[in-house]
A and B are shown apart, each in its own frame.
Chain A
Amino acid sequence: MRLRALLASLAILAAGLAVLSYATDGFRAFTTETARRIEVREHPRLVPDVLLQTANAQPLQFRALRGRWLLVDFIYTRCPTLCTAQGSEFARLQDRLAKPIARKQITLLSISFDPDNDAPARLADYQQRFGDRGAGWIAARPADAASLAQLSRVFGVTAVPDGMGGFVHNAAIAVIDPGGHLVAILDWDDPGAAAAYVEARLVS
């Protein structure tokens, strides 16, 4: 009786630890956000060739951006909180990364996850508001619903209505390598780390 209870308990203990370990990527990821960062870091994903529309109303195939490093963030221009900081950080990154930007080694890309509201004029206004330095920062929206859905899935973007007409979203700076692979997702509020990540990998 006792031996059997012990055996059953040990079996459950082993199975339980195995399941918990699997569910947390080896006790590393307890939240969806950590999990997506680990997943991207360990298994870089190819970003699909979606169609974007830029702030000056030009179509832009994602594939056309191959051959350079991209720092990507997801925004919506009506955002009163997080994105205001995201916008000014990208403008400051333009200063810090001015040289590799001029050599077309790095481009900054802000993509709207609210394309219905973010027409090109709104995107241009967003960049102007935060002091766009005029080079190396593209703001764009997905050209159609399918492109938005693909981007959201690949980047793991989640936007929840905040009950006040806006969104709460998992802001971050995503890094895409010259081959078009999403290789890292970094903290949105530490652009220095994102800049350092890319600078360390630039072929000098």
Chain B
Amino acid sequence: MISSRRVLALSGAVLWLALVVPPVPQILQSTMTLQMLVQIPLLAAAGWFASYAVPRHVEEALARWNGEGIAGLLLATFAAAVWMLPRMMDASVDDFHFALAKFASVPLLIGAPLALSWPRMGFVVRGVFLLESIATAFRMGWLYLASPERLCSNYLWNDQQQLGRYLIALGVVMCLVVMWKLIWGRMRISGTGSGNGSRNAVSPSARRACAAG
């Protein structure tokens, strides 16, 4: 078990390195679509995996402040909102300091908190999170499709339109997945995630709850 945690943490670190070593950032920031739908999600994924490096006693201590995973979810939501601002996407292309801030904050403030919070979220919190994610994909997609102006100074209008279409498609796919889970998936309706807060010692019921998302 311990070695599998190490492997996950290490793979997170390797993924992070692969994302920040030139010329990868330049490539992934060359279009708005790549930055928003590839670079930022992969940075968050790196943080998700790297969170397995958090020692269990620290995880337990954090969990006491993170009932139902709400605090972690809130943190991830705000960090995601900041990096969704057209202005911040521009700044991370123009200014190396903002790029560094993105490389650090997306894994640490989006990926890792979500990884630590997801197992503790109950059905309702997960539902709110998923539906709000779907709504955000539709809202942003609609905004990019409807805007007659370029929202990022560094990206072309066509790129913005393409991103808009991809976001709408993403929203549709997430909707379908959630519907599929609701109709055919197995899930636990009440209670929080695994009671003792350790992600290794997941009870069978918590494991199912994870699968339900």
Residues of A within 8 A of B (CB): 1-2, 4-5, 7-9, 12-13, 15-17, 19-20, 23-24, 29-35, 158, 160, 162-163, 168, 170
Contacts and interface: CB of A to CB of B under 8 A. Distances in A.
A29 B67 contact: no
15 contacts: A4-B64, A5-B66, A5-B70, A16-B74, A16-B75, A16-B78, A19-B82, A23-B87, A23-B88, A24-B85, A30-B85, A31-B151, A32-B153, A160-B154, A170-B153
Interface of chain A: mostly helix, strand, loop or mixed? helix
A23 B71 contact: no
Contacts of B87: 23-24, 29-32, 34-35
A32 B81 contact: no
A181 B91 CA distance: 24
A133 B153 CA distance: 33
Contacts of A30: 85-87, 151
Contacts of A32: 86-87, 90-91, 152-154
A26 to B, nearest CB: 13
Nearest to A9: B71
Across the A-B interface, the 9 shortest Cβ-Cβ residue pairs: A16-B78, A5-B67, A8-B71, A158-B153, A8-B65, A32-B90, A32-B153, A9-B71, A31-B86
Contacts of B151: 30-31
Contacts of B150: 168, 170
Given A23-B87, A32-B91, A8 B66 contact: yes
Contacts of A1: 64, 67
Contacts, number: 78
Contacts of B157: 168
Contacts of A29: 87
B14 interface: no
Interface residues of B, number: 29
B169 interface: no
Nearest to B151: A31
B154 A23 contact: no
B84 to A, nearest CB: 10
Contacts of A158: 94, 153-154
A4 B74 contact: no
A110 B8 CA distance: 57
A31 B153 CA distance: 8
B68 A5 contact: yes
A163 B30 CA distance: 12
Nearest to B88: A23
B146 interface: no
Of A2, A20, A32, the most chain B CB neighbours within 10 A belong to A32
B2 to A, nearest CB: 27
Given A5-B66, A5-B67, A12 B74 contact: yes
